[in-house]
């Protein structure tokens, strides 16, 4: 009798074992339920964490993840308690349970004390027109995690193009609020956030085109907005979306276009890539300078500001384009 129970028990164990082996991973995370904020940067095998085609994040028990909260006075929180470290390894235990050093808990209890800090770095490469190619992302202890690259013309303070990878898994995004844009150190004394204030835009247009001309071009609905080049929604995890909010990833874009046709194009591209089923490299660029008629009907190029020699800086592009490879 006893041995029969034992055999049944053994069989049950084997069945459970088979059932477990059938599952693709020992740990499984859902984007909407298991990732919290402020979200750390997560790396697996040196790359940013990406879900499988079903949108699930699966791990084997032997898998380790690098958890990082880069930046000054940033550190990892475990159950709201500081670990004192800005980079640690997390190990899959089971389901949504992970181990970090001697702490064991839910994956969603791994957070940063505050948003990780992202930055630009000279790649030492040159791009179109012998301009500097910057990488933008997170500077970890031994590695720079590049989320996109920007070809930047520092004479006129304009980004010629940005490249990023668009992944078909980006069907769902980790939700969260839009942060402020970061100025970084590429724009010298120019305060980009000031230039975009509608009052400032009106002053500028009146200066260039003549008194009260801003009334013709600007309204509550139509003004120059911070047009994302690599779109926020092309990035899956919060820490990656955040990094898209750098002024090097923007160009002045009319609001009605930004929220209209351009947004529709971005959305259509994401759907296409999901269908395609493989990642593509997207170049998003700007070309030429938009002109507007002044009081006497002469066409004047529009820049949001000018330098000490009265040369325009931060041009309003005539064209925005995307090239996908
Ligand atoms: C951590 O803090 C958040 C927000 O204050 C709270 O909702 C959560 O329950 C806390 N978690 C733990 C494990 O104490
Ligand atoms: C892991 O998840 C499975 C499926 O949801 C569940 O049956 C099992 O009890 C969980 N294991 C642990 C240790 O929580
Ligand atoms: C501009 O508008 C203001 C206020 O409506 C008006 O007083 C002023 O005369 C206008 N200036 C010109 C040059 O039209």
Give 16's pLDDT tier (boundaries 50, 70, 90): very low
Q: By alpha-carbon position, which residue is closest to atom 7 of ligand 2?
A: 95
pLDDT for 133 beyond 70:
yes
Closest C-alpha among 92, 104, 41 to residue 71: 41
* Cα–ligand 2 centroid distance for 123 (angstroms): 46
Q: Which of these, 99, 103, 17, lies nearest to 59 by C-alpha position?
A: 99
Q: For residue 95, how far is its CA from the centre of ligand 2 (angstroms)?
A: 6
Catalytic residue among 75, 164, 228, 246: 228
Using pLDDT thresholds of 50, 70 and 90, give the confidence band for residue 283.
Answer: very high
pLDDT > 70? residue 284: yes
Q: Whose CA is nearest to atom 5 of ligand 2?
A: 95
Cα 211 to middle of ligand 3, angstroms: 7
Residue 84 is predicted with a pLDDT of 95
Question: From the CB of 79, is ligand 1 less than 6 Å away?
Answer: yes
Give the pLDDT score at 6: 55
Strand runs labelled E in 101-183: 103-106, 110-112, 119-127, 131-139, 144-153, 158-166
Lowest mean pLDDT among 45-49, 133-137, 167-171: 167-171
Q: Which ligand is nearest to the CA of 81?
A: 1
* HSE of 248, CA atoms in CB hemisphere, 13 A: 27
CA-to-CA dists, residue 55 to 28, 49, 52, 170, angstroms: 11, 12, 5, 8
* Residue 281: pLDDT over 70: yes
Q: What is the pLDDT of residues 134-148, one digit of tens each?
A: 999 999 999 999 999
Atom of ligand 1 nearest to the CA of 80: 1
Instruction: Indicate the SS3 state at residue 49.
Output: coil
Rg (the chain; Cα; Å): 25
User: Does 230 have pLDDT greater than 80?
Assistant: yes
Tokens of 185: 């150190």
Q: What is the mean pLDDT of the chain?
A: 92
CB-based pocket (< 6 A), ligand 3: 211-212
Helices (H) and strands (E) in the chain, counts: 8, 23
Look at 175-179, 183-187, 192-196, 279-283 and tell me which has the smallest mean pLDDT: 175-179
**Which ligand has the nearest atom to the CA of 105?**
1
Counting ligands in written order, the one closest to the CA of 92 is: 2
Task: Check if 109 has its Cβ closer than 6 Å to any atom of ligand 1.
Answer: yes
163 lines ligand 1 (CB under 6 A): no
Which of 1-5, 33-37, 301-305: highest mean pLDDT?
Answer: 301-305
Please give the annotated binding residues, written as ranges: 258
Q: CA 93 to CA 105: how far, in whole Å?
A: 9
Report H helices in the chain.
2-22, 31-34, 192-195, 198-209, 214-217, 238-242, 255-257, 263-276
The residue whose C-alpha atom lies closest to atom 4 belonging to ligand 2 is: 95
228 catalytic residue (yes or no): yes
Average pLDDT of the segment spanning 278-289: 96
The answer to whether residues 167 and 50 touch, using CB atoms and an 8 Å cutoff, is yes
The pLDDT score that the predictor gives to residue 3 is: 56
CA distance 107 to 33: 10
Return the bridge partners of 293, or none.
Answer: 299
Please report the pLDDT score of residue 14 as a whole number. Answer: 46
Tokens matching residue 287: 């070309």
Rounded to an integer, what distance in angstroms lies between the CA atom of residue 256 and that of residue 289?
18
Mean pLDDT, rounded, for 237-257: 95
In ligand 2, the atom with minimum distance to the C-alpha of 95 is 1
Is there a cis peptide before residue 38, judged by omega within 30 degrees of 0?
Answer: yes
State the pLDDT at residue 15.
Answer: 46
Give the residue with greater pLDDT, 51 vs 102. Answer: 102
Is the Cβ atom of 80 under 6 angstroms away from ligand 1? yes
| Among 276, 145, 162, CA closest to 230 | 162
What residue numbers does the annotated binding site for Mg(2+) cover?
258
Q: What is the mean pLDDT of residues 14-40?
A: 74
């Amino acid at each position: 009798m006893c041995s029969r129970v034992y055999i049944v028990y053994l069989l049950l164990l084997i069945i459970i074992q088979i059932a477990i082996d059938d599952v693709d991973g020992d740990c499984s995370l859902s984007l909407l339920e298991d990732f919290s904020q402020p979200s750390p940067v997560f790396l697996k095998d040196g790359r940013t964490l990406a879900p499988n085609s079903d949108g699930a994040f699966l791990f084997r028990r032997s898998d380790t993840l690098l958890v990082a909260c880069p930046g000054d006075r940033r550190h990892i929180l475990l159950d709201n308690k500081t670990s004192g470290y800005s980079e640690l390894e997390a190990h899959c235990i089971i389901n949504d349970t992970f181990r970090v050093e001697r702490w064991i808990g839910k994956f969603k209890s791994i957070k940063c004390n505050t948003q990780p800090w992202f930055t630009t770095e000279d790649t030492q490469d040159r791009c179109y027109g012998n301009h500097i190619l910057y990488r933008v992302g997170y500077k970890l202890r031994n590695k720079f995690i590049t989320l996109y690259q920007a070809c930047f013309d520092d004479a006129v303070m304009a980004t010629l193009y940005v490249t990023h990878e668009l992944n078909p898994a980006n069907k769902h995004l980790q939700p969260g609020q839009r942060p402020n844009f970061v100025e970084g150190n590429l724009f010298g004394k120019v305060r980009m956030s000031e230039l975009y204030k509608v009052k400032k835009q009106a002053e500028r247009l009146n200066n260039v085109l003549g008194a009260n001309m801003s009334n013709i071009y600007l309204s509550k609905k139509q003004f120059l907005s911070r047009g994302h080049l690599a779109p926020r929604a092309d990035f899956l995890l919060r820490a990656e979306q955040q990094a898209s909010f750098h002024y090097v990833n923007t160009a002045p874009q009319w609001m009605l276009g930004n929220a209209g046709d351009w947004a529709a194009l971005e959305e259509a591209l994401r759907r296409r890539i999901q269908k395609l089923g493989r990642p593509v490299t997207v170049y998003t660029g700007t070309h030429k300078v938009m002109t507007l008629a002044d009081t006497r009907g002469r066409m004047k190029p529009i820049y949001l500001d000018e330098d000490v020699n009265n040369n325009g800086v931060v041009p309003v592009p005539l064209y925005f384009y995307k090239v996908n490879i």
